[in-house]
Amino acid sequence: MKGELTRFEPRRLAALIRKESVQILRDPSTLLIAFVLPMLLLAIFGFGISLDANSIRVGLVVQDDSAQATSLAQALRSSPFLDVEEDRTVPALRAKVVADDLRALVVIPQDFGASFDRGRPIPIQVAADGSQPNTANFVAAYVEGVYGSWAQQQGLVPRGAQVGVNTRFWWNPELKSRFFLIPGSIAIVMTMIGTLLTALVVAREWERGTLEAMMATPIGMGEFIASKLIPYFVLGLGSMALCTVLGVAVFGVPLRGSVLALLAISAAFLIPALGLGLFISAATKNQFMASQFALLSGFLPSFLLSGFIFEIGSMPKPIQMVTYLVPARYLIPSLQTVFVAGDSWGLFARDIGMMLLFGAIFFFLAFRATKRSLD
């Protein structure tokens, strides 16, 4: 076995790679996953998902007819972040919150105007739909913002010894969520190709027994694995390039770093992704199982546990520990940096090192699983 592992003959390898490439090009479903799926995912993340500020439908009940109440109601109506629907009473609007037509209710209470004259203004009320926590938070913040600028305009708040906060968001002053969603979706696309596609294709060969037939030929195991991986490696880089072009041209995400850095990061990530795919196929040898495990250990963690959308620091400790085992966790910060911020080789070197380490581990496991099943 040891001898076979080290046997490497360029000519034979080249022939094998050609065979594998022809197989890929012949199967329409492979091309579907390599080129149609990336475009679909990019469209979903680019158009379908947006964490940007947007107008939220709220109900407004004005129970006071003073000048202050009227002008505050007007300020709420003209806020670009709120889409206001009015009614005289709370119950009618509450039913709309229950039916998911409105996200919150704002009430300007009776006596609101008069309380200003007394010098001790009473607060307005916001009842947000807690069944959608994120939106509930946003609504509260928007209404507070409208109130604040309204009060300042009316000269209702003297600014004494107060601390103001000037914020500056580096690299993304307009706070476009696309800037992190598009690089993140590229990470998911590469996981799909590296892990899911490889696991499926190799598992099919196991299932059909064509792998055993290959093993009976003088091909060494190293050559065999390399011949499986090199075409998918190229395919992975190809769809990364497609995503990059689309991300920049269609979705307006900047590419501020160098192409070399982008290439190095992506290539480093494909190693653990391919290794995991090979390992899954060798361990399951069954297409349905391989697909399920590839989804569970490849796709879902890249989406949920990589810090792509959900902050790792906010997760419970045991789950945070698990995230260290997810290669995409190391890809996403580097990918976001190379697109949005520019080259930062200190960060890249750390992440590339981790990805290569995981690549080595997965390949070791894949080799072992393959060998065991042949004995």
Partner 1 sequence: MGRLKAITIKEFWALLRDPKGRMALFIPPLMQMFLFSFAATLEVRNVDIGLLDMSQGAYSQELVEQLSGSSNFRQIEVFHSPAELQQAIEQQQVIAAIVIEQDFDRRLTAGRPADIGVVLDGRRSNAAQIVAGYIMRIASGIGADVRSLDPPETVRVINWFNPNLTYVWYNLPSLIVMLGAITSIAVTSQSVSREREIGSFDQLMVSPLRVHEILLGKMLPPLGVSLFNGLLFWVAAQVIFGVPFTGSFPLFFAALLLYNVALIGVGMFISSLSQTQQQAFLGSFLVSVPIIMLSGFSSPVENMPEWFQLIDHVNPAMYFLPVSQGIFLKAMPASAVFDWMWPVAIIALVTLSAAAWLFRARME
If the CB atoms of residues 143 and 219 are measured against partner 1, the closer one turns out to be: 143
Residue of the chain from 166, 216, 218, 249 that contacts partner 1 (CB under 8 A) = 166
| 177 counts as binding partner 1 under rule CB under 8 A | yes
Output b/e per residue, 65-104; b: 16+ Cβ within 10 A.
ebebbeebbebbeebebbebeeeeeeeebbebbeeeebbb
Phi, psi of 125 (to 5 degrees): -115, 140
Cβ pair 283, 202 in contact under 8 A: no
Give long-range contacts, CB 8 A cutoff, 24+ apart: 12-16: 12/219, 12/223, 13/223, 13/226, 13/227, 16/219, 16/223, 16/224, 16/226, 16/227
Residue 139 C-alpha from the chain's centroid: 24
Q: How far apart are CA 334 and CA 253, in angstroms?
A: 15
Site for partner 1 in 184-203 (CB under 8 A): 196, 200-201
Residue of the chain from 173, 218, 249, 375 that contacts partner 1 (CB under 8 A) = 173
**Cβ 370 to partner 1, closest distance in Å?**
19
Segment near partner 1 (CB under 8 A), from 163-171, 221-229, 244-252, 274-282? 163-171
Mask 58-87, x = binds partner 1 (CB under 8 A)?
Answer: ------------------------------
Cβ pair 238, 325 in contact under 8 A: no
H or E segment at 374? helix 345-374
Segment near partner 1 (CB under 8 A), from 10-18, 98-106, 274-282, 364-372? 98-106
| 131 counts as binding partner 1 under rule CB under 8 A | yes
If the CB atoms of residues 8 and 256 are measured against partner 1, the closer one turns out to be: 256
Q: How far apart are CA 216 and CA 206, in angstroms?
A: 14
N-to-C CA span, the chain: 10
Segment near partner 1 (CB under 8 A), from 10-18, 131-139, 223-231, 366-374? 131-139
Cβ partners under 8 Å of residue 30, min gap 6: 24, 197, 201, 235
The radius of gyration computed from the CA coordinates of the chain, to the nearest angstrom, equals 28
Residue of the chain from 161, 216, 218, 375 that contacts partner 1 (CB under 8 A) = 161
If the CB atoms of residues 226 and 299 are measured against partner 1, the closer one turns out to be: 299
Number of residues engaging partner 1 in binding (CB under 8 A):
101
Segment near partner 1 (CB under 8 A), from 12-20, 130-138, 216-224, 355-363? 130-138
| 264 counts as binding partner 1 under rule CB under 8 A | no
Site for partner 1 in 334-363 (CB under 8 A): 336-337, 340-341, 344, 346-347
Q: How far is CA 241 from CA 86, 178, 224, in A?
A: 50, 18, 27
Site for partner 1 in 306-325 (CB under 8 A): 309-311, 313-316, 319
Packing angle between helix 287-294 and helix 259-284, nearest 10 degrees? Answer: 140
| 157 counts as binding partner 1 under rule CB under 8 A | yes
| 182 counts as binding partner 1 under rule CB under 8 A | no
**Cβ 84 to partner 1, closest distance in Å?**
14
Site for partner 1 in 32-61 (CB under 8 A): 32-33, 36-37, 40-41, 44-45, 47-52, 54-57
